[in-house]
Chains A and B, each alone.
Chain A
Amino acid sequence: MTLDDILAGLFPTGSKIETTGAIIAGQAVLPDGRPIHVLGITQGQPLGVDEAILLAGHVIEIVKSGDRAPILFLVDSASQRMSKRDELLGLSEYLSHLAKTLLLAEAEGHRTVGLLYGGSAAGAFIATALATGTLVALPGAHPAVMDLPSMGRVTKLPIDVLKAKAEATPVFAPGLDNMTQTGGIHAIWDADAPLAPRLAAVMQRPKGQDDRDRLGAKRGGRRKAAEIADRVVALAATSYQGAQHG
């Protein structure tokens, strides 16, 4: 599906969205008449300092407007831009800043929904899709931390061996199903069904805690994370009371 198809499907009543370079920005109207902000990165582009600062600027403007309208963040990117210039300028701060603005928006009453419709990887994935309150994906999306050939080089294992191992566990290999099973993606939308109602349904989802580790446990892709995190929270509570009394 092209970006235009997706936007048309999501916003049958129309939208005012522009794509400048690899950056998507604009507004649309939900079927119930409420406005929604649309941002994103497209064309499988890497996310560098220049793109991140633009996107973060848009988010901050939205938060400052005080309209509490939801934000849809579309993602079809590569990984972070792997260049000397970006690192020289402190890419980590720019990516973190973008993620923080999205987390801020969610906390300030804007529902943030990520829609992964293409690729995304590593730092770019963390700073965009994974920083939204709810992340959904379209079939064919292909998130990754690192591609298998690169992984093969680093782990010094042949691709075939890695592929065989990937059959046994969703925990390391790239791909939409693996990322969903580990809890990173809330739902994969059916491409043939109308998109607008799906978006509306996501908006209905009660706002709350980060439940990705629980999803991962439920789906069997990440069995330990939620339980470990819960135990730490519980231990911190009991040990502190103990310490205070002792």
Chain B
Amino acid sequence: MTAVTANTVSLSWYEASARQRIDALVDAGSFTEFIGPELREMSPHLAIFDLPEQFDDGVVIGRGRLDGAPVLIAAQEGRFMGGAFGEVHGAKLTGLLRAARAQHQDVLILFDTGGVRLQEANAGELAIAEIMRAVVEARRDGLSVVGLIGGRAGCYGGGSLIGGTCSRLIVSEQGRISVSGPEVIETNRGIEEFDSRDRALVWRTMGGKHRFLIGGADMFVDDEALAFRKAAIDALKVGRRCDVTVLEAEQTRLERRLQRFGEAEDAVEIWQALGVDNPTDVPALPTSAFLRAADNRENADDAR
């Protein structure tokens, strides 16, 4: 008989709020928030649409310590407006990344976003461009910017583009990374190409396991706050460059991906080509078995 353990101590990253994730990630009690909810810096645009506002505009930013070292942190709240980037939300992140350079401190971005917030689409789009530039500038100063992906909203749209600028990405199986959402693909291409309600299809096309296998993410962890914490500590130890060597390596890596898998119709074909035994079983594998099966995955070490 299998013993069932109660989930009394663990914190599911997928389920946790932005604030719970930060609390569980950093050294206990070490977090200081910048522009906290008491300052009520809310979106000035949602009222136009008669939509409710949130005191922190859906992102919590500040500084904490990770294994003793100071680190700047941003956590998106995927349940508020789908974690989408609006003007204030985006500017808090932009400011944090600019602060990283000024203070010479690494950054963790806890993504949980559907992309740009449509009600302030232009501001959100520009914020994403500004954040990407700030990430690259911080990395060129020798800083690490690590993305953590495993929330309800995934990491979609412009969020996924910011993710692509990070020095390392940590993902759980639940995490999804994609520019276009499933519904958007279905609307544009028809249900025959992509049935957005087929969640197994969605996950094997955009989910954490697939991204890890093709090198779209660097570390694969359980849906556990402590697993994310451990991975974040490790991720900050590597990948402190963003120069022509790194981008040339990424160019080679991404070209190779197109050559190897460009004709694949489905993720399972890609996993097969990667030499995974029983590729159709991949979605059902528990983490340890998956990591063994992923031995020959593509990786992006120093090529991101």
A28 to B87, CA, bound (A): 38
A140 to B100, CA, bound (A): 39
B244 touches A212 (CB 8 A): no
Stretch at the interface among B2-10, B17-25, B120-128: B120-128
Annotate B184-220 by CB proximity to A: 1 below 8 A, 0 otherwise: 1100110001100000000001100011001110000
B61 touches A232 (CB 8 A): yes
Q: Take A223-B44, A232-B95 as given contacts and tell me if A172 and B119 are in contact as well, using a CB distance cutoff of 8 Å.
A: yes
A90 touches B251 (CB 8 A): no
CB distance from A231 to the nearest CB of B (A): 6
Annotate A193-221 by CB proximity to B: 1 below 8 A, 0 otherwise: 00000000000000000101100100001
CB distance from B240 to the nearest CB of A (A): 15
B120 touches A212 (CB 8 A): no
Stretch at the interface among A1-9, A11-19, A52-60: A52-60
Q: Take A88-B270, A104-B247, A125-B125 as given contacts and tell me if A97 and B164 are in contact as well, using a CB distance cutoff of 8 Å.
A: yes
Question: Is A188's CB within 8 Å of the partner chain B?
Answer: no
> Which of A57, A93, A127 neighbours the largest number of chain B CB atoms within 10 Å of its CB?
A93
For window 140-185 of chain A, which residues contact chain B by CB distance below 8 Å? 145-146, 151, 154-155, 157, 165, 168-174, 178-179, 182-184
* Minimal Cβ-Cβ distance residue in B for A46: B188
Q: Is the interface of B mostly helix, strand, loop or mixed?
A: helix
CB distance from A130 to the nearest CB of B (A): 4
Provide the residues of chain B in CB contact with A216, threshold 8 Å.
123, 126
Q: Take A64-B248, A155-B118 as given contacts and tell me if A84 and B189 are in contact as well, using a CB distance cutoff of 8 Å.
A: yes
Question: Is A24's CB within 8 Å of the partner chain B?
Answer: no
Stretch at the interface among B133-141, B224-232, B274-282, B288-296: B133-141
Contact of B161 among A88, A96, A146, A232 (CB under 8 A): A96
* Minimal Cβ-Cβ distance residue in B for A96: B164
B164 touches A240 (CB 8 A): no
Question: Is B70's CB within 8 Å of the partner chain A?
Answer: yes
Contact of B243 among A104, A130, A178, A235 (CB under 8 A): A104
A172 to B205, CA, bound (A): 30
Contact of A172 among B92, B120, B179, B254 (CB under 8 A): B120
B98 touches A127 (CB 8 A): no
Provide the residues of chain B in CB contact with A49, threshold 8 Å.
254, 258, 262
Question: Is B80's CB within 8 Å of the partner chain A?
Answer: no
Provide the residues of chain B in CB contact with A86, threshold 8 Å.
179-180
Question: Is B285's CB within 8 Å of the partner chain A?
Answer: no
Q: Take A97-B254, A155-B49, A228-B91 as given contacts and tell me if A170 and B189 are in contact as well, using a CB distance cutoff of 8 Å.
A: no
Question: Is B144's CB within 8 Å of the partner chain A?
Answer: no
CB distance from A179 to the nearest CB of B (A): 6
A154 to B105, CA, bound (A): 38
A-B contacts besides A57-B255, A107-B136, A172-B122, 7 pairs, CB < 8 Å: A82-B180, A87-B178, A87-B206, A88-B261, A90-B216, A145-B121, A243-B70
A-B residue pairs in contact (CB < 8 Å), sample of 5: A91-B178, A96-B163, A107-B136, A145-B124, A240-B105
